[in-house]
């Protein structure tokens, strides 16, 4: 199973959509609240070179925003 990390804020709707998408597809993920966790925020900036959420790390492949089709492709999810 691929390792999924979600960097999010509590108010971010696209983060919620992403997390719901992983849950619906039975995928586990680790989540960091970058509004409070400054170490995780720095990690997110280092990985994505930007400050917007969500940032999703799938086995080292970085996605900024919830691009459902690109993320589906990376995870081999169809339909």
Partner 1 sequence: MPYDIVIIGGGPAAVSAGVYAARKKAKTLLVAESFGGQSIVSADIHNWIGERSISGIVLAEKLEEHIRGYKDDVDIWSDRVESVTRSASDTNLFSITTKAGKSAEARVVIVCSGSSRKRLGITGEDRLDGKGVVYCSICDAPLFGGKDVAVVGAGNAGLEAVIDLYPYAKKIYMVNRGATLKGDAVTQEKIKTFPTVEFIFNAIPREIMGDSFVSSMKYKDIVTGEEKTLAVEGVFIEIGSIPNSGLVKGFVETDEISRIKVDPRTMRTSVVGVWAAGDVTDSLYQQNNIAAGDAVRALLNAHTYLHSGK
Q: Which residues bind partner 1 (CB under 8 A)?
A: 9-17, 34-35, 41, 48-54, 64, 68-69
**In the complex with partner 1, which residue's Cβ is closer, 3 or 61?**
61
Measured from the CB of residue 77, what is the shortest distance to partner 1 in angstroms?
12
Least spacing, CB of residue 60 vs partner 1, in Å: 20
Cis status, amide bond into 54, omega within 30 of 0: yes
The residue among 1 and 39 lying less far from partner 1, judged by its C-beta, is 39
Query: CB-wise, 3 or 52, nearer to partner 1?
Result: 52
């Amino acid at each position: 199973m691929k390792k999924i990390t979600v960097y999010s804020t509590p108010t971010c709707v696209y983060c919620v959509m992403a997390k719901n998408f992983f849950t619906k597809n039975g995928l586990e993920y680790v989540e960091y609240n970058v509004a409070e966790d400054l170490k995780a925020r720095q990690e997110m900036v280092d990985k994505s070179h930007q400050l917007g959420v969500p940032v999703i790390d799938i086995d080292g492949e970085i996605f900024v925003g919830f691009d459902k089709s690109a993320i589906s492709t990376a995870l081999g999810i169809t339909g």
